[in-house]
Amino acid sequence: MNRLERMMQRCANREAERERAFNEKVARERARREKRHAENVIGGTPKTDQAKELALTLMKVHGLHDWLFEFDRAVFRYGCCHWVRKTITLSRALVELNLMQETGDCILHEIAHALAGVTHWHDKHWKKTAKSIGCTGTRCYGDHVKQPRGKWTCSCPVCGYTAERRKRTKSSCGKCSPTFDPRFLLIWTENL
Ligand SMILES: [Zn+2]
Ligand SMILES: [Zn+2]
């Protein structure tokens, strides 16, 4: 092989490597999407469709005739009551992950906010309103509500500490050293 041929060979190798990495990424994304979809469908109907229908029905039953329903992109709070926009929103991710029973309770929780009014937040009046419409009247959610998994798992090579994170950062283990220490650099793996 002469110099030019070697250069072209290297170029082709790099190109193949890039293509392989890209295809792997596409396959990972697809697997993640399919898993989410499988978790969402119960009895042939997506939970998100069931949740929307349930929300609209319950809102009508409790007199919120001029209120709207939407999904939002939150991952840590289940639902939200927007008094100004007169809209109740639910987290699409949490609806997909959890049982309809939890979603139903969350819808009633938000309806109670709408009925009690913006000034009451989670006070006694709100709680009474919530219980009167059949909500458990608990704060937004307890330990029984599932949250989406982080995209990444970090682990400490020294003490074995692991945690899930939404984003990958360059940091060291907080258990082994309170300040950044490269000896305890966390190792990251992508969750599927
Ligand atoms: Zn609340
Ligand atoms: Zn550690």
Tell me how long the chain is.
192
CA 41 – CA 130 distance, rounded (Å): 29
Ligand in nearest proximity to the CA of 174: 2
The CATH topology of domain 43-132 is: Zincin-like (3.30.2010)
State the CB neighbour count (10 A cutoff) for residue 122.
16
- pTM score, whole prediction: 0.66
Q: Is 134 left (phi over 0), alpha (psi -120 to 50) or beta?
A: left
- Compute mean pLDDT per 10 residues along the chain, 192 residues long, and list them: 88 92 91 81 86 97 97 89 94 90 94 93 92 86 67 89 87 93 92 74
Cα 75 to averaged position of ligand 2 atoms, centre (Å) = 27
33-82 confidence digits (pLDDT tens): 888 777 778 777 889 999 999 999 999 999 999 999 999 988 888 999 99
Q: What is the distance in A from the centroid of ligand 1 to the CA of 126? A: 9
